[in-house]
Amino acid sequence: MEMTAVVLVVGFFFFLLINVPVSISIGLATLIAMLMNIEAVPAVTTIAQRMAGGLDSFALLAIPFFVLSGLIMGRGGIAKRLIECAMALIGSLPGGLALVNVVSCMLFGAISGSAVAATSAIGSFMLPQMKKNGYDPNFSAAVTAAASTTGMLIPPSNILIVYAIASGGVSIAALFMAGYLPGIMVGLALMIVCFIYAKKKNFPLSERLPLRIVAKKVLAAVPSLFLIVLVIGGIVGGIFTATEAGAIAVVYALMLSMGFYGEVKAKELPEILLKSAETTAIVMLLIAASTAMSWLLSFENIPQSLSDYLLQLSDNPIIILLLINLLLIVVGAFLDMTPAVLIFTPIFLPVAMELGMSPLQFGIMIVLNLSIGLCSPPVGAVLFVTCAIAKTKLEDIIRPLIPLYAAMFVVLMLVTYVAWFSEALPQWFGF
pLDDT given at position 230:
84
Instruction: State which H helix or E strand residue 287 sits in.
Output: helix 269-299
Same domain, 150 and 231: yes
Say if residues 149 and 372 touch (Cβ distance below 8 Å): yes
Are 281 and 379 members of one domain?
yes
In this structure, the answer to whether residues 43 and 164 fall within a common structural domain is no
The SS3 of residue 365 is helix
Range of the domain at 20: 1-54
Residues 145 and 24 grouped into a single domain: no
For 275, residues 6+ apart whose C-beta sits below 8 A from its C-beta are 71
- The amino acid at residue 45 is T
Which 8-state DSSP code applies to residue 167?
T
Nearest to 160 by CA among 178, 142, 146, 147: 178
pLDDT at 1: 55
List per-residue pLDDT tens for the chain, 431 residues long.
567 778 888 888 888 888 888 888 888 988 888 888 788 888 888 888 988 888 887 778 888 888 888 788 777 777 778 888 888 888 778 778 888 889 888 887 777 777 777 787 788 888 888 888 778 888 888 998 899 888 888 888 888 888 988 887 788 889 989 999 999 999 999 999 988 888 887 776 677 778 888 888 888 888 888 887 888 888 777 788 878 888 888 898 888 888 888 888 888 889 989 988 888 888 888 888 888 888 888 777 777 777 777 778 777 889 999 999 998 888 888 778 888 888 889 889 988 988 889 999 999 999 999 988 888 877 677 887 788 888 888 788 888 899 999 999 999 999 999 999 999 988 887 77
Which residues, including other chains, have CB under 8 Å from residue 265's CB and lie 6 or more apart? 258
- 85 and 15 within one domain: no
Q: E strands of 364-429, at which residues?
A: none
Residues 291 and 353 in one domain: yes
Give yes or no: residues 20 and 160 share one domain: no
- pLDDT at residue number 204: 65
Model pTM? 0.86
pLDDT at 187: 93
CA proximity to 392, closest of 160, 213, 139: 139
Claim to verify: residue 180 and residue 292 sit in the same structural domain: yes
Phi and psi at residue 221, to the nearest 5°: -90, -15
Amino acid symbol at 126: M
| Dihedral sign of CA atoms 364, 63, 143, 154 in order | negative
Question: 253-278 burial, b for 16+ CB within 10 Å, e for fewer?
Answer: bbebbbeebeebeeeeeeebeeebee
Q: Are residues 404 and 357 in the same domain?
A: yes
Residue 140's contacts (CB-CB under 8 Å, 6 or more residues apart) are: 98, 101, 126, 127, 130, 131, 390
Q: How many domains does the chain have?
A: 2
* Residues found in the chain: 431
CA-CA distance, 99 to 24, in Å (whole number)?
A: 40
3-class secondary structure, 180: helix
CB-side exposure of 47: number of CA atoms within 13 Å?
21
* Residues 115 and 230 both lie in one domain: yes
Tell me: do 227 and 356 sit in the same domain. Answer: yes
C-alpha 43/C-alpha 35 separation (Å) is: 6
Distances (CA, A) of 251 to 82, 219, 245, 246, 425: 20, 21, 10, 9, 28
Contact assessment for residue 93 and residue 195, using Cβ atoms and an 8 Å cutoff: yes
- Give the pLDDT score at 232: 80
